[in-house]
Chain A
Amino acid sequence: MGPPVRVGVLALQGDFREHLAVLRRLEVPAQEVRTVEDLEAVDALILPGGESTTIARLMAKSGLDRVIKKRGEAGMPLYGTCAGLILLAKELVEDRPQPLGLLDVTVDRNAYGRQVDSFEADIHIKSIGPFHAVFIRAPKITRCGPSVEILAEHDGAPVLVRQGNLLGSSFHPELTDDTRIHEFFLSFLGKP
């Protein structure tokens, strides 16, 4: 057995503390990632909810965008929630911000509407089961590439998708006490 795996949470802005709390509950060694050096210490990375324009700007400024993309392409597990999903996407409907271009989906940032349209709903996740999902100014996935597996839908739109080592959700499992999606993501670490 090698050293225990460490999971990073991108901590430039957003609800990274909630993701760290979930990982702590699962007793997984975890740490905040704010710099390129921080990223070197982790084996997987969660991109949290937050404001995607803000996080994208800080990623570019710190050089984290390039190294996250590189490691994502090399197989490091990456999970993006909400803003994190926007950042992982290959393509956005709007011209801003600049996404990492890893996950072969098109995302429409404000398609679900403004805050008064934010909602909670029960969804069904393939091989996980029923799940209570919280959507906050959520981004909508409008196109999935052939290698993308849709794991859950709401109202006809994909809301949880996987492409190999990449996972993305338009909702926030970290805002509930349900740790099953995080556990599912951690299972990516066992497989090449």
Chain B
Amino acid sequence: MAQAERGTFRVKSGLAEMLKGGVIMDVTNAEQARIAEEAGAVAVMALERVPADIRAAGGVARMADPKKIKEIMDAVTIPVMAKCRIGHFVEAQILEALGVDYIDESEVLTPADPENHIDKWQFKVPFVCGARDLPEACRRIAEGAAMIRTKGEAGTGNVVEAVRHMRLMNKQIREVVGASEEELVQLAKQWGAPLEVLRLIKQEGRLPVVNFAAGGIATPADAALMMQLGCDGVFVGSGIFKSADPERRARAIVEAVTYYNDPHKLAEISEDLGEPMRGIEISELAPEELLQTRGH
């Protein structure tokens, strides 16, 4: 009988390929999960609280209660992701045992081990990790991440940091593509980025895994902006369920990611969605309030 191989990098990164051109939405209960699925989300992220509430609550943010995650997994047929703390490999083991489809080793939760990220090669379940620039993305890929997302600044409803991270990544990819082998070695040293991953990027002209945008996307136009900047899809955290009309906004952001290059359609899609989440100006945050600087 034909042998089947599970948990290979190809099936891990393969699921991310299937999510492309889609929207992954943060949800905190079964009802929100159903709303997200109904609106056309390609996956949901099961959480105790959305980032805006994590920010407001303070204290230590941890992996969600398994009961909550199971409730969400039972409510929908689309993939379910869940977050563990940076470096908390036991939370990751628990999430894998629960059968979640993707783990987000996330800076939105309080890091458990800021020095050592999880050795993701040890898991059959795939991981997505945040990155602010290309070197950080390369380090995560070398640790076994099968998908990358820009960190942006979660829970702010302000897209500025996501834009900054995506532009920086694009610029650094151009730098890698244009570099000679000697220069690549130098870049690897200078950036603290694994040379092997840089070679892959040079060869393919892009990140070797799918790259979504995250952290501050609140409107269909934000989502389309990130798509035009070259990301493969978007995560929307607080932006949907902290808005006045989550169902409508969710549907609109899904459509905006499909028709991101069509301003006429985007104009229609953006009409009459009610109040977006209020949002925070980044400069009003103290440096220790930034989530993006967690992990390295």
Q: Chain A: which residue is nearest B19 at the CB level?
A: A51
| B118: interface (CB < 8 Å) | no
The answer to whether residues A115 and B15 also contact, given A53-B40, A94-B77, A121-B2 and a CB cut-off of 8 A, is yes
Do residues A116 and B22 form an inter-chain contact, with CB atoms below 8 A?
A: no
List of A residues within 8 angstroms of B10 by Cβ: 120, 134, 175
| B60: interface (CB < 8 Å) | no
State which of B4, B40, B101, B255 has its C-beta within 8 Å of the C-beta of A119: B4
Do residues A136 and B4 form an inter-chain contact, with CB atoms below 8 A?
A: no
Do residues A51 and B18 form an inter-chain contact, with CB atoms below 8 A?
A: yes
Do residues A57 and B258 form an inter-chain contact, with CB atoms below 8 A?
A: no
Do residues A122 and B21 form an inter-chain contact, with CB atoms below 8 A?
A: no
List of B residues within 8 angstroms of A134 by Cβ: 10-11, 14
A14 to B130, CA, bound (A): 21
Do residues A12 and B78 form an inter-chain contact, with CB atoms below 8 A?
A: no
A15 to B127, CA, bound (A): 19
List of B residues within 8 angstroms of A58 by Cβ: 40, 254-255, 258
Do residues B40 and A118 form an inter-chain contact, with CB atoms below 8 A?
A: no
| B67: interface (CB < 8 Å) | no
List of B residues within 8 angstroms of A49 by Cβ: 17-18
The answer to whether residues A136 and B40 also contact, given A14-B20, A51-B19, A58-B255 and a CB cut-off of 8 A, is no
Q: Chain A: which residue is nearest B210 at the CB level?
A: A15
Do residues B258 and A34 form an inter-chain contact, with CB atoms below 8 A?
A: yes
A115 to B10, CA, bound (A): 12
State which of B2, B8, B42, B100 has its C-beta within 8 Å of the C-beta of A13: B42
List of B residues within 8 angstroms of A54 by Cβ: 22, 40-42, 78, 254
List of A residues within 8 angstroms of B77 by Cβ: 53, 94, 96, 109-110
State which of A16, A51, A136, A155 has its C-beta within 8 Å of the C-beta of B14: A136
Do residues B42 and A50 form an inter-chain contact, with CB atoms below 8 A?
A: yes
| A17: interface (CB < 8 Å) | yes
- Number of interface residues, chain B, beta carbon within 8 A: 40
Do residues A116 and B99 form an inter-chain contact, with CB atoms below 8 A?
A: yes
The answer to whether residues A114 and B101 also contact, given A34-B259, A53-B40 and a CB cut-off of 8 A, is yes
State which of A15, A34, A137, A155 has its C-beta within 8 Å of the C-beta of B1: A155
A135 to B17, CA, bound (A): 13
Do residues A12 and B258 form an inter-chain contact, with CB atoms below 8 A?
A: yes
Report the minimum CB–CB distance from B108 to chain A (whole Å).
Answer: 21
Residues 99 to 151 of chain B near chain A (Cβ within 8 Å)? 99-102, 124-126
- 0 or 1 for each of A117-161: is its CB under 8 Å from B? (1 = yes): 111111100000000001111000000000000000011000000
| A11: interface (CB < 8 Å) | yes
| A83: interface (CB < 8 Å) | yes
List of B residues within 8 angstroms of A154 by Cβ: 2, 4
Report the minimum CB–CB distance from A130 to chain B (whole Å).
Answer: 10
Do residues A115 and B21 form an inter-chain contact, with CB atoms below 8 A?
A: no
The answer to whether residues A137 and B40 also contact, given A12-B258, A54-B254, A172-B14 and a CB cut-off of 8 A, is no
Do residues B125 and A115 form an inter-chain contact, with CB atoms below 8 A?
A: yes
Do residues B43 and A136 form an inter-chain contact, with CB atoms below 8 A?
A: no
Do residues B21 and A12 form an inter-chain contact, with CB atoms below 8 A?
A: yes
- Please name 27 pairs of A and B residues whose Cβ atoms are closer than 8 Å in the assembled complex, sorted by A: A13-B21, A13-B258, A14-B20, A14-B22, A18-B17, A34-B259, A49-B18, A50-B42, A51-B78, A53-B40, A53-B77, A82-B18, A114-B79, A114-B99, A115-B15, A115-B100, A115-B126, A116-B6, A118-B11, A119-B5, A119-B11, A120-B8, A120-B11, A134-B11, A136-B15, A137-B101, A175-B14
Interface residues in chain B, defined as those with a beta carbon under 8 Å from any beta carbon in chain A: 1-8, 10-11, 14-15, 17-22, 37, 39-43, 77-79, 96, 99-102, 124-126, 254-255, 257-259
Which 6 interchain pairs have the tightest Cβ spacing? A115-B101, A119-B4, A118-B11, A51-B42, A13-B21, A57-B40
